[in-house]
A and B are shown apart, each in its own frame.
Chain A
Amino acid sequence: MNELCADIGYKSINHYGEQLCGDHVDIVKQDDGSCVVVLADGLGSGVKASILSTLTSKIISTMIAENLPIEDCVSTIAATLPVDSKRGVAYSTFTIIHLKKNGSAELIQFDNPHVILIRNGDSTEYPKTELNIDGKKIYRSDIVLKENDVFIAMSDGCPHAGIGTAYNFGWRREDIAQYMEGLVSVGYTAKTLSTMLINECYTLYGEKPGDDATSCVIKIRKREPMNILFGPPANRDDCDRMMSLFFSKEGKHIICGGTTSSIAAKWLKKPLKTNLSFERSDIPPTAEIEGIDLVTEGVITLNRVIEYAKDHIAENKLYEEWEYYNNGAALISRMLFEEATDINFYVGKAINPAHQHMDLPINYSIKMKIVQELTECLKKMGKSIKVSYF
């Protein structure tokens, strides 16, 4: 997984009328770059199902991450799960995707719809070995990862969407695969891909899901560095040092802030051209400096990016806004959420004297809070973040 990395995102909807989801996704990332993702679907729905799937995914992800054999995981689950009083069984299905540091993925699947693998834009079948553990049929596969591979794990709530209404037999796995093939090539994040799949299920269910439905998407991709400059340095003499460090870094460059971009333009000896088009939004216009990928205003723009970032890691209701608009905040969001995997922040701690005297919602502590909140959100998206202060 050295030069490759994984973008992982998932989304669930609950059985109509339930407050809890009976599906659960657990992700364990390890320091060596390996990662275990477990999607579990508990029997029934509501509280009972939620407990079953949470226990199952948690136990399996922890045990697999510790390199314990799958047989032990299965027997541990069987011994641990509470037995359903009505049905007399303890049961939760699961899908395990173990991304190993040697660049392969181990898939272990029990009773969930089989994972869809989209490779080179087409859904691809992969060999599976059938194991029998305590009378349970479990399928195991080993897949050597390639760049742009996309794994889609689901609970059975997805293929069951639309049974008897939109489709006679629900949304078949082949059809889901075909639907996703078209979306994968666009470059959406794993989170957005899973959101789109689940939104489609929700529509097929007539907005009243007859089951919990969850999809978890894993995108295998190349590392992509990105650099972002925000704020002038506290000490004017540090300008040169800050600029030369920022511009020497590999990857794209984003500059946020009016004064900051003037300093950068001066350093590069290039003109700073400001646009006057406001696009239907209340975000200040962007600007251009030759050689810089994106130049925007600072505080207001980044505050909106944080709003998008918080939504993206949670409900993901606003993605259409940043996905298709062209204002500064939307452009930054696309670059940071979709393109980047490793983001370097260069933050200047200068205090703008003009800002301090006014009743404006801009001041030093707000700038620092922006950096803190944004980097936290980005870390939750699985990005690796470095922040340098000047």
Chain B
Amino acid sequence: MKVTICIGSSCHIKGARSVVEQLQELVSQNHLDDKVELCGSFCMGKCQQGVCITVDNEFYSVSPENVKDFFNEHIAACTAEVI
């Protein structure tokens, strides 16, 4: 699973850094390092909806406050299915 986080200017201001760090933490806590690939991207062209994240090309809007819910719902749950 490929999770891409926008680290462009406006997502950065909206807390991309915190989102990235929380996701890195959550992925390693849940031992998903070999299933989930986190990567960065510059502007995805949807700055108003930042912080912009895509999970295997599916678009999501995330904030530092709801990143944990996002992780449980869209990353942890989906990787469980794959198993």
Residues of A within 8 A of B (CB): 257-259, 261-262, 272, 274-276, 278, 282, 284-285, 287, 297-300, 352, 354-355, 357-358, 360-362
The answer to the question of B38 belonging to the interface, with a C-beta cut-off of 8 Å to chain A, is yes
Which of these, A276, A278, A287, A352, contacts B42 with CB under 8 Å? A287
A274 lies within 8 A of B9 (CB): no
- Identify the closest chain A residue to B5 (Cβ): A276
Which of these, B10, B20, B40, contacts A358 with CB under 8 Å? B10
B7 lies within 8 A of A297 (CB): yes
Interface segment, one of B11-19, B56-64, B66-74, B75-83: B11-19
Interface residues of B in 34-71 (CB under 8 A from A): 38-43, 45-48
Min distance, Cβ B23 to any Cβ of chain A, angstroms: 10
- Per DSSP, chain A at the interface is loop
A299 lies within 8 A of B9 (CB): yes
Q: How far is the CA of A361 from the CA of B14 in the complex (A)?
A: 11
Min distance, Cβ A30 to any Cβ of chain B, angstroms: 41
A276 lies within 8 A of B40 (CB): yes
A300-B13, A354-B45, A357-B48 given. 17 additional CB < 8 A pairs?
A257-B42, A258-B43, A259-B42, A274-B41, A276-B7, A276-B38, A276-B40, A278-B21, A282-B17, A284-B17, A287-B42, A297-B12, A297-B42, A354-B48, A358-B10, A358-B47, A362-B10
Q: How far is the CA of A274 from the CA of B48 in the complex (A)?
A: 21
Min distance, Cβ B71 to any Cβ of chain A, angstroms: 16
Specify which chain B residues have a CB less than 8 angstroms from the CB of A276 in the assembled complex. 5, 7, 20, 24, 38-40
Which of these, A257, A262, A284, A352, contacts B47 with CB under 8 Å? A352
Specify which chain B residues have a CB less than 8 angstroms from the CB of A287 in the assembled complex. 40, 42
Specify which chain A residues have a CB less than 8 angstroms from the CB of B41 in the assembled complex. 274
Min distance, Cβ B28 to any Cβ of chain A, angstroms: 13
Min distance, Cβ B7 to any Cβ of chain A, angstroms: 5
Report how many residues on chain B are interfacial, defined by Cβ distance under 8 Å: 22
Specify which chain A residues have a CB less than 8 angstroms from the CB of B21 in the assembled complex. 278
Min distance, Cβ B64 to any Cβ of chain A, angstroms: 13
Specify which chain B residues have a CB less than 8 angstroms from the CB of A261 in the assembled complex. 42
Specify which chain B residues have a CB less than 8 angstroms from the CB of A300 in the assembled complex. 9, 12-13
B39 lies within 8 A of A258 (CB): no
- Identify the closest chain B residue to A297 (Cβ): B9
Specify which chain B residues have a CB less than 8 angstroms from the CB of A361 in the assembled complex. 13
B8 lies within 8 A of A258 (CB): yes
Q: How far is the CA of A90 from the CA of B3 in the complex (A)?
A: 74
Given A275-B40, A278-B20, A278-B21, A284 contacting B45 (CB threshold 8 A): no
Specify which chain B residues have a CB less than 8 angstroms from the CB of A298 in the assembled complex. 9
Specify which chain A residues have a CB less than 8 angstroms from the CB of B9 in the assembled complex. 257-258, 284, 297-300, 355, 360, 362
Q: How far is the CA of A261 from the CA of B41 in the complex (A)?
A: 11
5 A-B pairs within 8 Å (CB atoms) are namely: A258-B43, A274-B7, A285-B40, A354-B10, A354-B45
Min distance, Cβ A302 to any Cβ of chain B, angstroms: 10
B8 lies within 8 A of A297 (CB): yes
Specify which chain A residues have a CB less than 8 angstroms from the CB of B42 in the assembled complex. 257-259, 261-262, 272, 274, 287, 297
- Identify the closest chain A residue to B47 (Cβ): A354
Min distance, Cβ B37 to any Cβ of chain A, angstroms: 10
- Identify the closest chain A residue to B43 (Cβ): A258
Min distance, Cβ A286 to any Cβ of chain B, angstroms: 10
Q: How far is the CA of A258 from the CA of B40 in the complex (A)?
A: 11
Min distance, Cβ A301 to any Cβ of chain B, angstroms: 9
B39 lies within 8 A of A274 (CB): yes
Q: How far is the CA of A297 from the CA of B40 in the complex (A)?
A: 12
- Identify the closest chain A residue to B17 (Cβ): A278
